Amino acid sequence: MIKPHGSDVLLPLYVADSDTRAQLLAEAEGLPSLLLNSAAAANAVMLGAGYFNPLQGYMNLADALSVAKDMRTCDGLFWPVPVINLTQDKSISAGSRIALRDPNVDGHPVLAIMDVTATESVTDEQIGVMAEQIFGTGDASHPGVATFTQLGNHLLSGSIQVLNFSYFSEEFAGTFQTAVEIRADIEQRGWHKVVAFQTRNPMHLAHEELCRMAMERLEADGCIVHMLLGKLKAGDIPADVRDACIRKMVDVYFPPNSVMVSGYGFDMLYAGPREAVLHAVFRQNMGATHLIVGRDHAGVGDYYGPFEAQTIFTESVPEDALEIEIFSADHTAWSKKLNKVVMMREAPDHDKDDFVLLSGTKVRELLSDGIAPPPEFSRPEVAEILMAYYQSEIA
């Protein structure tokens, strides 16, 4: 199986031993507390689950600045996006051992325990520079920039021990999996070449066919549809609805033991190219050998070129940085000429009118009116789930 990033074995920060975990939870009740923001909480979940291997906690300011600028920590570890704990709380001092509390669960239970190595003030200028480098823009209208620049100016770094996986393990039981669990699942299935498909949306017919194309062309043993379960921007479809859509598609249209449906607990960054590289890092950590990177991968609005998330791997990621390989894909759509889904770049004799193309706005209008999109765009079983969701929103 493919090695994790940066180490020979996976080093998840979740405390798996139940007795030790109980002792730490009891200890946490007597420790000073910090209520995390959602971004820092999501980082803790990813660290605990082994997705952010080999990191052992939150980065300090020097590492954060280095990663934002050069995609490497100060000691040379390749990493595309800072993994940090920014806060507005000024009460924590270096050398403290503190309980990190979950902002996304009622009662704010302890999510992790942190040994604070350093507390550092971050200037607005440094925040702005990092945002520009991570997101490729400083525009406050960009949802990722808007979130990042409001997290706070106090950075706490140090190692953590993760004690639970927030709301993900209960709210998405059967879908949320750690990198450790996915590796075990891959091994149990006997897969060797494994394609990962990233999604924050329900999968339409074109997405389904893209997974099928990748598996066939790579001669892969299987595909993992790996969906984001954390916070999105307003208007995006909730994770439970996406989960139901994807499972229905897989159950009906893929052979048994060819596709795994799984999810991870992280908030969407909308960082385009940088986020695509982060996706590759943690898919390697979960055991995937290939990641599908399509048009506008992890993008939002018009902030990124359609293929920037692919070219970053050839132009900015060193050849020896990652073992996982990228399957570069164009936009896929139903060809009226060929009566099948094709990659648009592979149909040079087509123009726009030769494809079945529907805007997101048009699809939402149809579904809200109880009208299924054409079968060349969406499987009817999936459309039925989406129509029920949109009509419940209207009601």
Catalytic residues: 200-201
The answer to whether 32 touches 92, Cβ cutoff 8 Å, is: yes
102: how many CB neighbours lie within 10 A of its CB?
23
Q: How far apart are CA 366 and CA 74, in angstroms?
A: 51
Q: Tokens standing for 26?
A: 């009891």
β-bridge partners, 112: 100, 162
Rounded Cα distance, 385 and 248, in Å: 9
343, 213 in Cβ contact below 8 A? yes
Residue of 327, 333, 228, 320 lying closest to 270 (CA atoms): 228
Dist CA 238 CA 200 (whole Å): 9
Helix (H) or strand (E) holding 58: strand 57-58
CA pair distance 111, 168, nearest whole angstrom = 12
- The DSSP H or E segment spanning 228 is strand 222-228
- Cα-Cα-Cα-Cα dihedral sign, residues 355, 360, 361, 367: positive
Instruction: Please give the radius of gyration of the chain, using alpha carbons only, rounded to the nearest integer.
Output: 21
